[in-house]
Structure 1
Amino acid sequence: MTETTAQQPKTLPARPGPVLAMLLVVYVFNFLDRQILAILAAPIQAELGLSDTQMGLLGGIAFALLYSTLAVPLAWLADRTSRSWVITVSLVAWSGFTAICGLATSFWHIFLARLGVGIGEAGGVAPSYAIIGDYFPSSRRAFALSIYSLGIPLGSAAGVMAGGYIAALVDWRVAFVAVGLCGVAIAIPFKLIVKDVPRPAPVAGEESPSFGAIAGVLARKPSFWLLSFGAASSSMLGYGVAFWLPSLLQRSFGLDLVGTSQFYGAILLLGGTVGVLLGGWFGDRLGGKDKAWYAWLPALAYALAIPFYAGGISSNSVAMAFILFLLPQALAYIWIGPVLSAVQHLVEPRARATASSMFLLINNLIGLGGGIYALGALSDFLKPTYGDEALRFSMLFALGLYGMAALLMGLAGKQLRRDWVVEA
């Protein structure tokens, strides 16, 4: 497997727009199914008698353990077979298990259902990154990945709003079932629209790169480790805040379920959408002049977000908290387009899904698996001292993770200049 120049098809596929739109729709459901648990945490805890630590396990490790680890073999399978088929089957699986969450009667029932959601979603993201890499040229790839990544704020906002309203009007169980069945229904149109692009022909006598070869290439590139652990540090805070902010709004700001869904849904939709798009736009433009900016741009965003998050968490005013949370919510999404594009350029095109899955393994296992649990466990630990405000202080202490993320991303910039794979 070569590290510098990759064989690329001479002509990119026509009409990439519908494919990107369909991938976006599926990604919306991906995050809708993840985020719905956060808005439903209060009624689930009340009915099943769960602690913050147990909810942290459900939101974090129950989902992230198999989601992160199985993503690597499923991405390798997608690189060697059909990326679109792997995504289709995964969509049906995670949506079905989301519906099953609505049948849970105990902690272990819903824990196992969340494991199933993680198994399904393991096959969705990395192959999607690779399909986008096939359909869009390098100069437009960060922005295309940002359009796809709009699924994060759109899906999260939809999960918060839909889950909150359905739970308030009917029942939290109905919310899980309704969302899951909708996801299953879009599997057929997705497969009809999203087609695999023929892979670049290997050099005569050269076989497709093995998993070990891809892992070896990435292991020798410092930029991969700095980007991965930088993103993981930021994701510990990002996923932790995303999961626990609805509970904070209800405990410390006195909002009800519907008010919480409106407050947080609006922040996700407005701030998240702007942040994702700006990250891709600036990433392509600044990165086109200097590859280091694919890492430096996220580093700057993390550093700027810290004081605004601290102000929002510490505020006692709902209106002031909304304003203070809006800007860091945008800054928190800046990294997505630039970093994902950079990871795609650390290997040749035939290895994109596998490389992306290895990045996601580190990012999600540490960030998603550890962040939600850590904030919940820290909240329980601080409860004897801070009482009902323990969750607020848990979030404040966790802001140091953004400082670590900014440092690692800053160090990754110069390394990217050396590690970047130039396409033919």
Structure 2
Amino acid sequence: MTEPQTLAAHAIADEKAIRRRGLTLALLTTTYFFSYMDRQILAILQELIKADLQLSDTQLGLLSGLAFALFYATLGIPVARLADRFNRKNIVALSLAAWSAMTAVGGLAQNFTQLLLARIGVGIGEAGSSPPSHSIIADLYPPDRRAGAMGVFSLGVVLGSAIGTSVGGLVAAAFGWRTAMYVIGMPGVVLALIVWLFVVEPRRGLSDPNRAPDAAKEPMPSLAQGFASLAASGPALHLVAGVTLTSMIGYGLTAWGPSYMQRSLGIGVRDISLYVALPGGLFGIASAVGGGKIADWLARRHGLHAQSTMVAVLKTLALPFTLGFFLFDQPVLAIGSYFLYILFANSYLGPTFALIQGLAPLRLRALWAAITLLVINLIGLGAGPTLVGVISDLLKPSFGEDSLRWSMMLFAAVTPWAIFHYWRAGVLLKRAG
């Protein structure tokens, strides 16, 4: 093929990628939705599983935290290296099929060890989802629209947690926790085929007009260079620290929130599914999409640094409502405070991941995403739910069934630390211009 023909073919491929980027974003968001639904299904099922398999809070914390996070986070690095070299949509599709099947397999478990192995399988499969997806989205959307796109993508967190809790809880209440895992897991296998058929694989750097035209053809940096490049970026380090601390609080609340509502507020599984999970999902949608749109507007008006400052401000507004969820004894007040916490707090993912992708070298986007997720998930997902369970068990002799309430309160108290890192990232981004 001659050079003019090659350029024409690339132009056609680029035009197709841009034309179909809305569909691609929708499918990647749906994949992320299934990821979180399969990841968080244990939250609403924990009390049923605990009674059936005779588990402790520490064991439940391991199942929803460290056992999953250890494999999910560490395997994300080698998968990201593959994603920075090869076809990213194929990696996402294969991973989706694998973790969905393992979620369903968890319904067959007869003891802690078998369920642990199934959850490890889910973690291994999900390692191939987010880093390639982040990279694809960054190539499809320019910097001043990227936070909005990432905000839409982050709906996977909100909807996955809400619908997984709602559907899982309703199915479990009617047919048992094992059937709930089958129902949540198997549809993902079908979605994997749809992703493979319809998601586009864009040219790397497609939507970065300020990048050098031949940047995507530069030699692949080594793994050590990838880590070193992120470590050398002050704004990126503060963003990673901020999102990690925020995730630790969020994962702890998500994993144990339904159990807390049942134990301390007296709300049943069915009522949580209908009257907490679904409305909470709506507040989460408003936060994620609205936050992404506001972040894009702030970037165009004031510069990208304003996005990080926005997250710091919104997290500050969310803090009293986070504490209110644990301090109010009346269910109506506690759940109302929880909804307002979601509204202010759930807008952080889109701007954070968009800023990190904008700071990342072109050939290292998936790796930077994987490094970020490695830290987030080892500390946030791995330590968060696990430590909540351990601390709850330690506090139980003194506080009884309310031990979980005070355990979760300790994690909410970490919020100002996260706010500092987002504020500092904004300062450094502004200095960098």
TM range (shorter): over 0.9
Name the counterpart of 1:199.
204
Q: Are 1:210 and 2:215 an aligned pair?
A: no
Aligned pair 1:29/2:30, yes or no?
no
> 8 Å contact 1:308–1:327 — kept in the other structure?
yes
Deviation at 1:372, TM superposition (A): 0.5
The one-letter amino acid of 1:285's match is: W
Query: Which residue of 2 is the match for residue 308 of structure 1?
Result: 321
Which residue number corresponds to residue 4 of structure 1? none
Distance 1:359 1:394 in 2: 26
Deviation at 1:266, TM superposition (A): 2.6
Q: Please give the residue correspondences for 1:86-165 in structure 2 after superposition, counting only pairs within 5 Å.
A: 86-165=91-170
Q: Distance in 1 between matches of 2:25 and 2:216?
A: 32
Whether contact under 8 Å (1:214, 1:347) holds in the other structure is no
Match of 1:291 in 2: 304
Q: Deviations over 1:211-255 (max 9, x none)?
A: 222222111111121111111111111100111110011111112
TM-score, with length taken from structure 2: 0.91
**Deviations 1:6-30 (CA, angstroms, capped at 9, x unpaired):** xx99867223111111111111111
Q: Equivalent residue of 1:199, what SS?
A: coil
Q: Which amino acid aligns with 1:117?
A: V
More divergent stretch after superposition (284-293 vs 360-369): 284-293
CA distance in 2 between counterparts of 1:285 and 1:300 reads: 16
Given the alignment of the two structures, is residue 346 of structure 1 paired with residue 351 of structure 2, yes or no? no
Name the counterpart of 1:259. Answer: 271
Partner of 2:18: helix, strand, or coil? coil
**1:44 maps onto 2:49 in alignment:** yes
CA distance in 2, matches of 1:391, 1:412: 33
The farther-off stretch of 392-401 and 235-244 is: 392-401
Residue number among 348, 373, 395 corresponding to 1:382 in the alignment:
395
Structure 2: distance between partners of 1:172 and 1:147: 30
The answer to whether structure 1 residue 405 and structure 2 residue 418 are counterparts is yes
Task: Please state whether the residue corresponding to 1:40 is helix, strand or coil.
Answer: helix
Between 1:211-220 and 1:384-393, the stretch displaced more is 211-220
| Residue in 1 that maps onto 2:370 | 357
Q: Alignment RMSD, CA only?
A: 1.8
Looking at structure 1, the residues matched to 217 and 359 of structure 2 have their Cα atoms a distance apart, in angstroms, of 23
The answer for unaligned runs of 5 or more in structure 1 is 1-7
Structure 1 residue 233 corresponds to structure 2 residue 245: yes
Moved over 4 A (4+): 8-12
Aligned 8 A contact 1:238 1:332 in 2: no
Mapped partners of 2:181, 2:217: distance in 1: 51
Task: Tell me if structure 2 keeps the 8 A contact 1:39–1:160.
Answer: yes
SS in structure 1 of the partner of residue 266 of structure 2: coil
Name the structure with the higher helix share.
2
Q: Does 1:273 align with 2:298?
A: no
> Is this contact kept in 2: 1:263–1:322, CA < 8 A?
no
Equivalence for 1:14: 19
Is the Cα contact below 8 Å between 2:216 and 2:363 reproduced in 1?
no
Q: Measure how far apart 1:136 and its partner are.
A: 1.3
Instruction: For residue 203 of structure 1, report the CA deviation from its aligned partner.
Output: 5.4
Q: How does 1:219-230 map to 2 (within 5 A)?
A: 219-230=231-242
Distance across 2 between alignment mates of 1:358 and 1:17 = 27
The separation in 1 between residues aligned to 2:134 and 2:352, in whole angstroms, is: 12
The change in CA–CA distance for 1:307 and 1:199 in structure 2 (over 3 A counts) is: closer
- How many corresponding residue pairs? 413
> Please, what TM-score do these two structures have when normalized by structure 1?
0.93
Matched, 1:172 2:177: yes
- What does residue range 35-74 of structure 1 map to in structure 2 within 5 Å? 35-74=40-79
Q: Corresponding residue for 1:186?
A: 191
